[in-house]
Amino acid sequence: MATLSLKISPEDMLQVVQEMPLDELTRFTDKVLQVKARHMAASLTVGEERLIEEIDRLKLSPKTHQRLLALGAKLEDEALSAAEQEELQHLSEKSEKINAQRLAKVAELATLWQKPLPEVMKQLGLWRSYAQ
């Protein structure tokens, strides 16, 4: 069986990533962060590894995240029904709770690593998602 090896520049990969639909980009990003975490895991303590796993686990499902974004867009267009307003409120509260829990875990990790919180967030690939 023949093996084909391709070398793709980071710029070319970025071009492909920029053209991905949001749901595919979310799945791809999750996989990239998992690869990064595995690379980092070689030098992590059990406690650090546990925190990183919890940080990765604490997030909305892609479907729920998409729904939250869709409802937010409808809110901006002033096109939400009463039921959708209630759903948006519920999903927003759920998202805030998850983000608070996740941020607490990142803060624990920052304390262990003795690094500023934004630096740890960048290292874990989280800075962009919180800075939006």
Which residue ranges make up each domain of the chain?
Answer: 46-132
Question: Which residue type sits at 69?
Answer: L
What is the chain's length?
Answer: 132
Question: For position 131, what pLDDT does the model report?
Answer: 47
Please say whether the beta carbons of 104 and 65 come within 8 A.
no
Please say whether the beta carbons of 126 and 106 come within 8 A.
yes
Q: pLDDT tens, 41-69?
A: 667 788 888 999 999 899 999 999 999 99
Question: For position 1, what pLDDT does the model report?
Answer: 60
Question: For position 101, what pLDDT does the model report?
Answer: 97
Question: For position 43, what pLDDT does the model report?
Answer: 73
Low-confidence spans in the chain with pLDDT less than 50: 131-132
Cα dist from 92 to 48, 71, 87, 96, 99, whole Å:
29, 10, 8, 6, 10
Please say whether the beta carbons of 88 and 75 come within 8 A.
yes
Q: Rounded distance, CA 15 to CA 38, Å?
A: 25
